[in-house]
Amino acid sequence: MKVLVAMSGGVDSSVAAALLAEAGHDVAGVTLKLWGGASDRGCCSVADVDDARRVADQLGIPHYVFGLADDFSTGVVEPYVAAHAAGRTPNPCVECNRHVKFDRLLRRALAMGFDAVATGHHARIERTSAGRWRLRRGADAAKDQSYVLHMLGQAHLARVLLPVGGLTKREVRSRAAAMGLRTARKPDSQDVCFVAGSDRRAFLGGRIPLHPGRVVDTSGQEVGSVAAVELVTVGQRRGLGLPGGTHEPRYALAVDVAARTVTVGSEDDLSTTETAVEGWTWVDAPAAGAVHAQCSAHGEALPATLDGGVLRWDAPRRRVAPGQSVVLYDGDVVLGGGTAA
């Protein structure tokens, strides 16, 4: 099989490429140049492109660099900025997978004559006895990335390989070390690749106006202020301009950018029994009834009932920030997901 491996310059994608080459596939690597300038970091840095190229040289496979900055800007950065402007909390890694890695890159790979695209994600793809494709959690629960792949449907899964999904992270690093790959001890990337460090304010402030706002309690009484309403996330506790002392902890319950207002309340106020979800996509058939739902990349999947577009939780849980992905599971099998409304 002719496979194009998305090589980020990290250890997972390096080992993914090595395993495929070892298995006898016709492998080439590609690094995506998605972002530059002051935020030239994460999966888009010059150093990471160089690491990916050197690993490809070690493996004796071709290496390409694709400039997909326009697709990344349109599909990831612009929606990220727009979401903050609307008081929502976006998930750019999900949108990068949706619009870039498993859309634009996959289409380009197929046009070049490749049979499949592979990545270093920790998740597993299987084919059932009925010939349907199934997406499962990775073998390493601590590194599982199935949450950010929930948008992959049957047509995608037929053309995607995840070679390290059955390995633990320790096993991945061990294999990289045994092969002498330069990325064997390279730390995992943690930041949003296009936001330098954690300075969202500087990044967003250069693209949209940021507005100071009032902080009010559930009765409407003003109790504090924030420097930028657009940077507040539902569930946030710190940075709300609230007085210390004997007050019980208070959390952001709602963000109203138009009214320049953040409503706060107690941990009990933050609790909810249902979450509206929009923009559903399904790995196979749409789900209904009893499911488990996960609302952050490394959160716990909690039992709920899917009733139309609403998840009704079996037990009260914290509110899900609007804009966050909500992913449904049956055991370790991904059913699909959507976005908290």
Q: What is the pLDDT of residues 159-209, one digit of tens each?
A: 999 999 999 999 999 999 999 999 999 988 766 788 865 588 899 999 999
Q: Are residues 70 and 127 in the same domain?
A: yes
pLDDT at position 118: 98
3-state secondary structure of 306: strand
Q: What is the CA radius of gyration of the chain?
A: 21
Under 8 Å between Cβ of 252 and 235: yes
Q: What is the dihedral of CA 204, 208, 210, 216, to 10 degrees?
A: -100
Task: Look at residue 255 and tell me if it is in a domain.
Answer: yes
Would residue 295 show up in a list of annotated catalytic residues for this protein? no
* Burial readout 277-298 (b: 16 or more C-beta within 10 A, e: otherwise): beebebbbeebeeebbbbbebe
Could you read off the pLDDT tens digit of each residue along the chain, which spans 341 residues?
999 999 999 999 999 999 999 999 999 999 999 986 544 555 557 788 999 999 999 999 999 999 999 999 999 999 999 999 999 999 999 999 999 999 999 999 999 999 999 999 999 999 999 999 999 999 999 999 999 999 999 999 999 999 999 999 999 999 999 999 999 999 887 667 888 655 888 999 999 999 999 999 999 999 999 999 999 999 999 989 887 665 789 999 999 999 999 999 999 999 999 999 999 999 999 999 999 999 999 999 999 999 989 999 999 999 999 999 999 999 999 999 999 99
Q: Are residues 219 and 83 in the same domain?
A: no
Picking from 144, 179, 214, the residue at the C-terminal end of a domain is 179
Q: Are residues 276 and 257 in the same domain?
A: no
Under 8 Å between Cβ of 159 and 110: yes
Q: Are residues 174 and 315 in the same domain?
A: no
pLDDT at position 247: 72
Q: Are residues 7 and 154 in the same domain?
A: yes
Tally of structural domains, the chain: 3
Structural domain including 120 reads: 2-179
Q: Are residues 27 and 100 in the same domain?
A: yes
Take residue 68 and report the two structure tokens written for it.
């997909």
CATH number of the structural domain spanning residue 277: 2.40.30.10
Q: Are residues 97 and 173 in the same domain?
A: yes
pLDDT at position 43: 54
Tokens 């070049």 correspond to 112
Q: Distance (Å, rounded) from C-alpha 52 to C-alpha 57?
A: 9
Q: Strand 63-67 to strand 26-33: parallel, antiparallel, or no bridges (unpaired)?
A: parallel
Q: Distance (Å, rounded) from C-alpha 141 to C-alpha 146?
A: 10
Task: Look at residue 194 and tell me if it is in a domain.
Answer: no
pLDDT at position 289: 97
Q: Distance (Å, rounded) from C-alpha 102 to C-alpha 123?
A: 14
pLDDT at position 188: 85
Q: Are residues 63 and 92 in the same domain?
A: yes
Would residue 193 show up in a list of annotated catalytic residues for this protein? yes
Picking from 265, 280, 311, the residue at the C-terminal end of a domain is 265
Catalytically annotated residue among 43, 44, 96, 295: 96
**DSSP output for 200-247:** HHHHHHTTS----EEEE-TTS-EEEEES-GGG--TT--SSS----SSP
Q: Are residues 228 and 278 in the same domain?
A: no
Task: Look at residue 160 and tell me if it is in a domain.
Answer: yes
CATH number of the structural domain spanning residue 255: 2.30.30.280
Picking from 150, 179, 208, the residue at the C-terminal end of a domain is 179
Q: Are residues 157 and 20 in the same domain?
A: yes
Task: Look at residue 214 and tell me if it is in a domain.
Answer: yes
Task: Look at residue 336 and tell me if it is in a domain.
Answer: yes
pLDDT at position 243: 78
Q: Are residues 226 and 323 in the same domain?
A: no
Task: Look at residue 110 and tell me if it is in a domain.
Answer: yes
Under 8 Å between Cβ of 50 and 60: no
Q: Distance (Å, rounded) from C-alpha 158 to C-alpha 121?
A: 16
